[in-house]
Copies of this chain bind each other. A is one copy, B any other.
Amino acid sequence: MISLGLRPVMARSKAASREFALIARHFAPLATHRAALALRDDAALLVPEKGHSLVITKDAIAEGVHFLASDPMDLVARKLLRVNVSDLAAKGAKPLGYFLATAFPDGTTDQAVAMFCKGLKADQKTYGLSLLGGDTIRTFGPAVFSCTMIGTVAGRRFVSRNGAKPGDDLWVTGTLGDSGQGLALLQQRATAPEKAASALMRRYWLPSPPFSFHAHLAGLAHAALDVSDGLLQDAGHLAELGGVQLAVRLEAIPLSSAFVKSAGRSNAAKLTAATSGDDYQILFSAPAAARERVQAAARASRTKVTCIGTVKKGRGVIVLDAHGLDVTPERTGYTHF
């Protein structure tokens, strides 16, 4: 496509030349899957594995909104991949590859692009991903990156948001609130001992979705999603789409020792953890009869899981303290519409 900012053929060829060189040098080595056609075509050709369906998700991030220009570019790239891996894992899907659109600010150095691609490469290895295609454009404003990630499930074993049933247990993987506390530290809204602070900020920069748990989810969960906007808010989606009520036990909210060192373990701290964003853990409901299978899956995939409540008849999300008293905060974020 021609660019308004550039004039006739010479300038255009030079710009195109830069783009092709950028792709050849930095991005082509990341296109390891045959579907990518080595980025030599305008499109990828994907022949899905027999008996499998595709699960596709797309998340975008913008400089100044989701990350800062001063953030290490390799971590920005890895976070972009990980927020998409998180969406797929929560659907029980195995990531396969991704399409990437990068709008780098005019004047971005080759070194910054190289650092960005170094991050992509590292996480391609971690999650078994390949770059499949994309577009590299310029913007006169802050950077915007978008990633469309493709995963596969056997048959149609997609774990949706809408199957939670009264009587189900409510589970969450990992610990909650770490990333939100990391951001609070970065914004100097909180304090922590040095080691804990570093762990929490690290969790904000580089989420760690419970990737290896995805393979177990389809056989166990009635409904699932990834916790990205805060546990209570995301629980609201499960409640609304399932036509059920979710009762969360505040004392069961799983906290990391780093979080506790910074925020304590009071009810207020637990509510903070339950309303923080960027957790990238999986929230799922499963029949009470599957309790032992959930624990076995957790052991097999080395994933921490915690039963944090139950699914009931009714609607919305309620939070109960250790005495069974309703301590639901006024805004849990689940009444969007």
Q: Is A289 an interface residue (CB 8 A)?
A: no
- The distance in angstroms between the C-alpha atoms of A275 and B9, with both chains bound, is 7
Q: Is A288 an interface residue (CB 8 A)?
A: no
- By a CB distance below 8 angstroms, the chain B residues around A46 are 53-56
Copies of the protein in its oligomer? 2
Q: Is A244 an interface residue (CB 8 A)?
A: no
Known: A1-B59, A66-B4. A41 touches B91 (CB 8 A): yes
Q: Number of contacting residues on A, CB 8 A?
A: 92
- By a CB distance below 8 angstroms, the chain B residues around A60 are 101-103, 135, 137, 146
Q: Is A3 an interface residue (CB 8 A)?
A: yes
- By a CB distance below 8 angstroms, the chain B residues around A160 are 37, 41, 45
Query: Would you call A44 and B55 a contact (CB within 8 A)?
Result: yes
CB distance from A232 to the nearest CB of B (A): 9
- By a CB distance below 8 angstroms, the chain B residues around A43 are 55-57, 87-88, 91, 93, 151, 158
Chain A residues proximal to chain B, CB less than 8 Å:
1-5, 9-10, 12-13, 16-17, 20-21, 24, 37, 40-48, 53-68, 83, 87-88, 90-91, 93, 99-103, 132-135, 137-142, 144, 146, 148, 150-151, 153, 156, 158, 160-162, 179-180, 183, 187, 225-226, 228-230, 233, 241, 275-278, 329, 331, 333, 336-337
